[in-house]
A and B are shown apart, each in its own frame.
Chain A
Amino acid sequence: MIRDVTANNSAELKTAETVSSIDVALSVHGLRHSYGGDAFVVDGVSLKFPVGSWTAVMGPSGSGKSTLLYCMSGLLRPSEGRVSCSGTDITGLSPDELTRFRREHFGFVFQGYNLLPELTCTQNVMLPTLFGPAPISEAEANEALTSVGLDGYGDRYPDGISGGQSQRVAIARALATHPDVVFADEPTGALDTHTTRAVMDLFGMVVKHGQTLIMVTHDPNVAACADRVVFLVDGRLASVHGRMSASDIALAFATGFASPADATTIPDDEVHISADSHEGE
């Protein structure tokens, strides 16, 4: 199994270096991160994320999924490696530059929603833009809320709405700045199946609008909505797949992340991305 992983990892690296025929929203190269000591939580990951793609990052607990997401999004500075977005290596930016870059290019959706309890839903949606040069109006923020099905919730506070509604506010906030890449860390971890379905529909809309979505999840049903599934084991890339069914993903988990028969490791330029692929999500 480990031999396969190594082979896949180097194949992926080669792919990342050679493919340039597609528009890449985000690319990571040789990413390694350690929280101190010799053990690397993320160990030599190289990936490219095409514009308008939806990637699910999966793996067992402790495989480094969230750390990878934080490193890619600039929340953690990686120990080694590069993260490029829109032609900028964000690992070389100063904290202020990184904050501005994150504000303009990235959106975030977390399991814990991370809404500011002091602010209303509308203000939470407006917040990232308020720090920037072109703040959106309340009407625009309310419009964003309406687009996620929260019409009339603008004046409510986060502690007065349900978890699913909070997550929708977080999605509306992530989309308010029209970011190039949306990072989602276990976005449905605290939601019931019905609300999970609704959130997936919203993510489908995001991708349909040409934004890139990178999502960490444990849930095969959620990962099955993505264009591409990336498996991570012990901080290393185990395999990269195209669209998979929930049962295949579950099977991959059961077999220790060996590639299932009907899913092959595919390079980035073969990831099929079309507006139709997310119709009816």
Chain B
Amino acid sequence: MRFLSLSNQFRHAHRTSYRSLCLSLLFMSALVSTGFLVLCSAQSRDGAPTAVTALQRLETRAYYEGTAEFMSIMVSSCLLASLVLTVSAVGFLVQENRRQYALLYLNGGTPRQVRLMVMVTLGAPGLAAISLGTIIGCGLCFPLAHLLIRIGGAAPTFRIAIHPQGILLTLLFMLLALLLGILLATRRLTHVAPIEAVVGMCAPSHVTGRARIAAAIILGTGGLTVGFTPLSIQAEARIIVQTMLYVVATALAAPLIMPHIAAFVTALSVPFNRAAYLVARQRSLRGGQRAASVALPVIILLLVVCPFLSMMDVGTAESVATDMAQIPSPLVLRSTGTVAGNTEDSSESHYAAALAFARNSSNVESAGVFDAERYAADTGRTVRTALVAKCDRGTLLTNLVIHAVTDGSLNDLDDDAVAVASGYGQVGDTVTLRGTDDTPHTLRIVAVFGSLPGLQPDYIALTDALGTSRGSNAYVMGYLDTGSPLAVQSAWNADSSLSWAHMYTKQEFINYYVAYRKQGRTGVSTFIAGAAFIALIALIQAVGTAVREAAPGDRLLAQICAPRRLVTAIGLIEYTAGVIAAALTSALVFTLIWISMTLITRTDGLSLLPPIPARVFLILILACVAISAMECLAAMRRSSSRRRRRRTSEDNSL
């Protein structure tokens, strides 16, 4: 076992590679621990989900449970991305040092001894990076939660708590991912022959290739089945499962298909430099693993971000369309929030102004105006998020009751009573409501009814009793029943005294809301950004590793015939071609996902087409190309300066 004492020196000699692996592990652990802790907090009594703002909760049916499920899906996606990237990052490192391992075999190390050495060499810094990342993740949770609350991404009552199970799950998951990466990488080492240290030959792996293709075809077919066959599974779940299957299938097939696509892409460089094209093309074809290592992070990045963005927009449109369908009015009123001064006073004057407008307008048949805010209701079992609508009694009785109340009456509603949605409680029960200032208010249920237009599904309608505990953000909404919606809308929007609210047609409101929702999905965006960040780190690591691997070939080229600029151009072409090849593959896979998404939403009765996040796609591709080019140049510069230092020391010794 004394050979293990050399592992420190291996780490030191390849510190650049180990540093980038440790950074990847650190960031991934931080993201995973943040995800687990936020999820644990969201599922416990201490917190509420962070995915939507209070306003979004009011305007659509953002269920507490539904959001927690969505958060679980996002965390699962992050876990999958972390797993794939950890395994590939360890694989890159081992692949990079393949000749060193062949030398160890040549010097009498058995495969088992070499595997043990790899485990010890990788295990110690990996463990340290994972532990540190978990601690950083715990620390990051608090400012993140604070930020989310401040910008409206989370409820004011949301509290992060450090749950030990979150930390344990992170450590367990990341250690398992690292162990899996080491086992898979060292399994590949058994194919290394000692003679590779002498003649640099590489054992062919036809069996692995066939197995990979077979597994990729099976998973791809699974993705097609899930996406295109009518199934009773929930639409979002189908799309996510389909996306994940495609990601894994593409990752498996990458070493075999990417070199050919990358070689095809390099043809674009023919007009600039034929020699660079020839070398870069051959390198892409011969170095399948290298092309795949560059392409894989890009594929994961694009296939995590783009389908999720489309799906979120579909979900938003579906959600708001369902809600809007329940409003018995072609017009929707929404406050613009531009009114200065005291909000409470403004609200009261707004009701009056809105109702006055309705009374004076010959086109308006009936009107309802209300403001609303989110409260947490303590039912003794769990904290459930409730939508609280505050209406003046007249509006409540004349509008809401007429349109909404089906199994209860609000006639008995007094200052200390509440009416609740069915399933929330029974008449006579008491519920405790906590306002944004966390002050508890115990109220008695006096009426239970099924639904209230625009406010689905769990809500409590109450009187002015809690008015004093409302926060400053009182959003006024309303609707008007009219036979001439366009005339009423233009009359309202033209009246400057009514500028505190904007009037939409129902379709306009849906469009507005989809656009609004895009700006407001802070919580989910945070996780997507985290996953994207990790993928970019992995891309940097992959390009750096590939450049180091190609360094001997570059030196040879420089010695034989190629000027420095040509060698640099070859590197740039090779790695950017890998990124573009990954983008083409991702676009193809995304097309399949998009078509299935369209079919699935049609089956659900929605006629909308899922949006294509083309701008995001292009921005991500450009970012990946720029990052890979910059890392390629930086790694080449580092490599040549190290070579110069070595040469100088050799000259000195001579």
Q: What residues make up the interface of A, taking CB atoms closer than 8 Å to B?
A: 66, 70, 75-76, 95-96, 99-100, 102-103, 108, 110, 112, 114, 116-119, 123, 127-132, 135, 156, 159-162, 165, 173, 177, 185
- A96 touching B110 in the complex, CB below 8 Å, given contacts A114-B198, A118-B14, A130-B3: yes
Q: Is B111 an interface residue (CB 8 A)?
A: yes
Q: Is B108 an interface residue (CB 8 A)?
A: yes
Secondary structure dominating the interface of B: helix
- A162 engages B3 (CB within 8 Å): no
- A160 touching B653 in the complex, CB below 8 Å, given contacts A75-B194, A114-B103, A118-B9: yes
B191 to chain A, nearest CB (A): 11
Complex formed: what's the CA distance from A185 to B113 in Å?
26
- A99 engages B195 (CB within 8 Å): no
- CB neighbours (8 Å) of B194 from chain A are 75, 99, 102
- CB neighbours (8 Å) of A75 from chain B are 106, 193-195, 198
Q: Is B10 an interface residue (CB 8 A)?
A: yes
Q: Is B105 an interface residue (CB 8 A)?
A: yes
Closest to B654 in A: A162
CB-contact partner of A162 in B2, B110, B195, B653, under 8 A: B653
For B602-617 the 0/1 string (1 means CB < 8 A from A) is 0000000000000000
B254 to chain A, nearest CB (A): 27
CB-contact partner of B109 in A70, A119, A131, under 8 A: A131
A249 to chain B, nearest CB (A): 25
Given A102-B194, A118-B13, A162-B650, 8 additional A-B pairs, CB 8 A: A76-B195, A99-B108, A102-B108, A108-B106, A110-B198, A114-B103, A130-B5, A185-B198
Q: Is B6 an interface residue (CB 8 A)?
A: yes
Sorted nearest first, the 10 A-B pairs with minimum C-beta distance are A103-B108, A118-B13, A130-B3, A128-B108, A75-B195, A131-B108, A131-B109, A99-B110, A127-B107, A128-B107
Select the residue from A99, A114, A127, A177 with max chain B CB neighbours within 10 A. A99
CB-contact partner of A96 in B5, B13, B112, under 8 A: B112
- A131 touching B14 in the complex, CB below 8 Å, given contacts A116-B100, A159-B649: no
B247 to chain A, nearest CB (A): 36
Complex formed: what's the CA distance from A118 to B111 in Å?
20
- CB neighbours (8 Å) of B6 from chain A are 118-119, 123, 127, 130
For B88-105 the 0/1 string (1 means CB < 8 A from A) is 000000000000100111
30 contacts between A and B (CB under 8 A): A66-B199, A70-B198, A75-B194, A96-B112, A99-B109, A103-B107, A103-B108, A108-B106, A112-B198, A114-B103, A114-B106, A116-B103, A116-B104, A118-B6, A118-B9, A118-B13, A118-B100, A119-B9, A127-B3, A127-B6, A128-B107, A130-B3, A130-B6, A131-B104, A131-B107, A131-B113, A162-B650, A162-B654, A165-B653, A185-B198
B104 to chain A, nearest CB (A): 8
Complex formed: what's the CA distance from A75 to B102 in Å?
11
Complex formed: what's the CA distance from A135 to B626 in Å?
50
- CB neighbours (8 Å) of B14 from chain A are 118
Complex formed: what's the CA distance from A116 to B12 in Å?
13
CB-contact partner of B650 in A70, A132, A160, under 8 A: A160
Closest to B204 in A: A36
- CB neighbours (8 Å) of B9 from chain A are 118-119, 123
Complex formed: what's the CA distance from A128 to B197 in Å?
15
Closest to B195 in A: A75
- B108 engages A117 (CB within 8 Å): no
Complex formed: what's the CA distance from A156 to B653 in Å?
10
- B110 engages A70 (CB within 8 Å): no
Complex formed: what's the CA distance from A103 to B653 in Å?
31
Complex formed: what's the CA distance from A102 to B109 in Å?
10
Closest to A159 in B: B646
Complex formed: what's the CA distance from A103 to B105 in Å?
9
Select the residue from B111, B197, B198, B646 with max chain A CB neighbours within 10 A. B198
- B107 engages A70 (CB within 8 Å): no
- CB neighbours (8 Å) of A100 from chain B are 108, 110
- CB neighbours (8 Å) of B12 from chain A are 118
A85 to chain B, nearest CB (A): 15
- CB neighbours (8 Å) of B646 from chain A are 159
Complex formed: what's the CA distance from A160 to B108 in Å?
25
- A132 engages B110 (CB within 8 Å): no
Complex formed: what's the CA distance from A78 to B605 in Å?
69
* Interface of chain B residues 619 through 654 with chain A (CB within 8 A): 646, 649-650, 653-654
- B108 engages A159 (CB within 8 Å): no
- CB neighbours (8 Å) of A159 from chain B are 646, 649-650
For B438-479 the 0/1 string (1 means CB < 8 A from A) is 000000000000000000000000000000000000000000
B125 to chain A, nearest CB (A): 15
Complex formed: what's the CA distance from A46 to B103 in Å?
29
Complex formed: what's the CA distance from A217 to B108 in Å?
24
Complex formed: what's the CA distance from A162 to B650 in Å?
7
A151 to chain B, nearest CB (A): 15
Complex formed: what's the CA distance from A135 to B108 in Å?
12
- CB neighbours (8 Å) of A112 from chain B are 198
- CB neighbours (8 Å) of B199 from chain A are 66
CB-contact partner of A114 in B13, B197, B649, under 8 A: B197
- B10 engages A118 (CB within 8 Å): yes
Complex formed: what's the CA distance from A177 to B108 in Å?
10
Complex formed: what's the CA distance from A76 to B199 in Å?
11
Closest to A132 in B: B108
- B3 engages A131 (CB within 8 Å): yes
Closest to A35 in B: B201
- A161 engages B110 (CB within 8 Å): no
Complex formed: what's the CA distance from A99 to B12 in Å?
27
- CB neighbours (8 Å) of A132 from chain B are 108
A116 to chain B, nearest CB (A): 5
Closest to B100 in A: A116
- CB neighbours (8 Å) of B104 from chain A are 116, 127, 131
Closest to B643 in A: A159
Complex formed: what's the CA distance from A66 to B103 in Å?
18
Complex formed: what's the CA distance from A26 to B5 in Å?
34
Complex formed: what's the CA distance from A112 to B99 in Å?
13
Complex formed: what's the CA distance from A172 to B100 in Å?
20
Complex formed: what's the CA distance from A100 to B111 in Å?
11
Complex formed: what's the CA distance from A165 to B654 in Å?
10
Complex formed: what's the CA distance from A236 to B653 in Å?
43
- CB neighbours (8 Å) of A130 from chain B are 2-3, 5-6
A156 to chain B, nearest CB (A): 8
- A160 touching B110 in the complex, CB below 8 Å, given contacts A118-B14, A119-B6, A119-B9: no
- CB neighbours (8 Å) of B195 from chain A are 70, 75-76
- CB neighbours (8 Å) of A102 from chain B are 108, 194
Closest to B645 in A: A159
Complex formed: what's the CA distance from A272 to B107 in Å?
32
For B7-27 the 0/1 string (1 means CB < 8 A from A) is 001101110000000000000
B624 to chain A, nearest CB (A): 32
Closest to B102 in A: A114
A86 to chain B, nearest CB (A): 16
- CB neighbours (8 Å) of A156 from chain B are 653
- A96 touching B111 in the complex, CB below 8 Å, given contacts A114-B103, A130-B6: yes
Complex formed: what's the CA distance from A273 to B63 in Å?
92
- CB neighbours (8 Å) of B106 from chain A are 75, 108, 114
